[in-house]
Copies of this chain bind each other. A is one copy, B any other.
Amino acid sequence: MVEESGILELKSFFEPKSVAVVGASRDIRKAGHILLRNLLSFGFKGRVVPVNPNTQQILGLKAYSRVDLIPGDVETAIIVTPAVFVPDIMEDCERKGVRAVIILSGGFSEEGEEGEKLEKEVVQIGRRAGIRIIGPNTTGIINTENGFMSSFTKFSNIIKGNVAFIAQTGNYGGIVLEQIFSSHLFGVSKVVGLGNKCDVDETEILEYLALDDKTQVIFLYVEGIKNGRRFLEVAKKITKKKPIIVVKGGKTDLGAKIALSHTASMAGRDEIFSAACKQAGVIRVSDFEKFLDLAQALSHQPLPKGNKVALIHFSGACLVLGTDMIIESGLKIAELSNISIKKLREITPQWHRVSNPIDIQPSIMMAGADRTYQVAVNTVIEDNNVDAVIVGIGAVEGNCPDDVMVLGMHKEKPILFCLYGNKSLSEKIGRDLRKLGYPVYDSLRRAVDVLSVMCQISKRMNLMVR
């Protein structure tokens, strides 16, 4: 899919043996300090050398005044100085034989003519020297596997997983990651902030992630695609094996104008991008929140093998609305087998009908919440007419399972949860469900939307058997 040499080149961005941090700082509020601390905090085993002409030592590491004065190899440089110094630093890197540079600094083509000139100069030096560049105007790389990163977000922790992000944005990426990690939403394999994309672009990174066995799901935020035809070709192949989900900014004229001043991107005609995504099997969604919703499900849950849904809910109103949503999303309400009806009958009062969607409130009253949820979930999972399950839980004492372990860990069909009710109780239940690998949403709408996308992905990957 990608030439060997290309992959080898990009490897220096993800697995460098040695890295110089140019613009490293002793000031704990500065990006040049935080990213150095991140490199030291999350297990990176390579050599780390701070570069700063005005200090001897930062965070216990000896600092050098220039990259080309560092003794020994320097494979990769992270640059976090003001933009005007970057061309000179690139020349230092050239002299040192650096192979990859991540430029975090802003103030390049996104800020007008002068910046554009500066960026051109940087690209020229890179080409001449054979140095690949990520950025400028970005937060660059996070590789959770080996702890290598150029992010200057203060993370509370890092969770390893199979979800990769490519984002033409830096700051937001960091803050959303901190949200993902601190809320234990899911684990991440690699993050790539692309910024102005003066050299490395989204398609090259896609090719790299396609071959990365730590990555199973790829999310992409772009404001413009550099080479549409190549993107289309590459994405088309990848989406048969790994889902690609994309959010694109700059749909409206004004949005496109803002994109130009954000990452100097040409947004292009939106309908062309949409058509290309469809053709390439790329899922396009409208905002970042959909990313998080989807990633929760795709990182742990199996893809559905059909579109027949069992809806288990304590609220009659949600059964009505949920049925509407499921039908309107192109999914189907599964018809339960006789065996399932019989099993559910055992926990249902005589006066109440049993059918899918399954109104479990009468069962909760009769058999208790633990037994009701256990029987209901396990019954529909075992039913051959059911491909996927959505479960509503009302977190109010007596109405919800005391221990969600009663549900068991199911890996054969996707199960998505909607959780409402008392704040602290629903947080506890949500945490426990996530530990079991189940995605949890605050609304039926979000769960149905996610399941609908899972069906699209399953179709693209030829996993639908009915």
| Contact, CB under 8 Å: A182 / B422 | yes
Q: Which of A41-49, A121-129, A322-330 contacts B (4 or more CB under 8 A)?
A: A322-330
Distance A352 CA – B112 CA, assembled complex (angstroms):
10
| Contact, CB under 8 Å: B420 / A179 | yes
Distance A402 CA – B426 CA, assembled complex (angstroms):
28
Residue among A258, A327, A424 having the largest count of chain B Cβ atoms under 10 Å: A258
Chain B proximity of A447: nearest CB distance (Å): 11
| Contact, CB under 8 Å: A423 / B182 | yes
Contact partners of A445 in chain B: CB under 8 A: 286-287, 289
Which chain A residues numbered 92 to 150 have a C-beta less than 8 Å away from chain B? Answer: 106-107, 111-112, 115
| Contact, CB under 8 Å: B324 / A255 | yes
Distance A255 CA – B323 CA, assembled complex (angstroms):
5
**Of the residues B179, B223, B252, B253, contact of A317 by C-beta under 8 Å:** B223
- Does A230 make an interface contact (CB < 8 A)? no
Contact partners of A316 in chain B: CB under 8 A: 169, 171-172, 258, 262-263
| Contact, CB under 8 Å: A262 / B317 | yes
Distance A83 CA – B106 CA, assembled complex (angstroms):
70
Contact A175 to B255, CB < 8 A, known contacts A29-B398, A107-B351, A321-B287: no
Contact A179 to B422, CB < 8 A, known contacts A107-B351, A289-B445, A328-B251: yes
**Of the residues B154, B320, B324, B357, contact of A396 by C-beta under 8 Å:** B154
- Does A9 make an interface contact (CB < 8 A)? no
Which chain A residues numbered 220 to 279 have a C-beta less than 8 Å away from chain B? Answer: 221, 223, 247, 249-255, 258-259, 261-263
Distance A258 CA – B289 CA, assembled complex (angstroms):
30
Distance A252 CA – B327 CA, assembled complex (angstroms):
7
Residue of B nearest to A419 (CB): B179
- Does A166 make an interface contact (CB < 8 A)? no
| Contact, CB under 8 Å: B250 / A320 | yes
Contact partners of A255 in chain B: CB under 8 A: 320-321, 323-324, 327
Chain B proximity of A451: nearest CB distance (Å): 15
Residue of B nearest to A247 (CB): B321
Distance A132 CA – B144 CA, assembled complex (angstroms):
65
Contact A318 to B254, CB < 8 A, known contacts A156-B422, A179-B422: no
Residue of B nearest to A288 (CB): B443
Chain B proximity of A445: nearest CB distance (Å): 5
Residue among A171, A289, A362 having the largest count of chain B Cβ atoms under 10 Å: A171
Which chain A residues numbered 422 to 450 have a C-beta less than 8 Å away from chain B? Answer: 422-424, 426, 442-446
| Contact, CB under 8 Å: A351 / B315 | no
Chain B proximity of A136: nearest CB distance (Å): 13
**Of the residues B107, B172, B250, contact of A315 by C-beta under 8 Å:** B172
| Contact, CB under 8 Å: B183 / A423 | yes
Which chain A residues numbered 391 to 416 have a C-beta less than 8 Å away from chain B? Answer: 394-399
Residue of B nearest to A352 (CB): B111
Contact partners of A324 in chain B: CB under 8 A: 249-252, 254-255
Contact partners of A357 in chain B: CB under 8 A: 258
- Does A339 make an interface contact (CB < 8 A)? no
Distance A396 CA – B153 CA, assembled complex (angstroms):
8
Contact partners of A289 in chain B: CB under 8 A: 442-443, 445-446
Chain B proximity of A313: nearest CB distance (Å): 9
Chain B proximity of A116: nearest CB distance (Å): 13
- Does A178 make an interface contact (CB < 8 A)? yes
Known: A171-B394, A250-B324. 11 other contacts (CB 8 A): A154-B398, A172-B317, A172-B420, A175-B394, A179-B422, A252-B327, A253-B327, A255-B323, A262-B317, A262-B359, A289-B443
- List 18 contacting pairs A-B, 8 Å CB cutoff, sorted by A: A106-B362, A169-B316, A171-B314, A172-B314, A172-B316, A175-B396, A175-B399, A176-B420, A249-B324, A250-B320, A250-B324, A254-B323, A255-B320, A255-B324, A255-B327, A262-B319, A263-B316, A287-B321
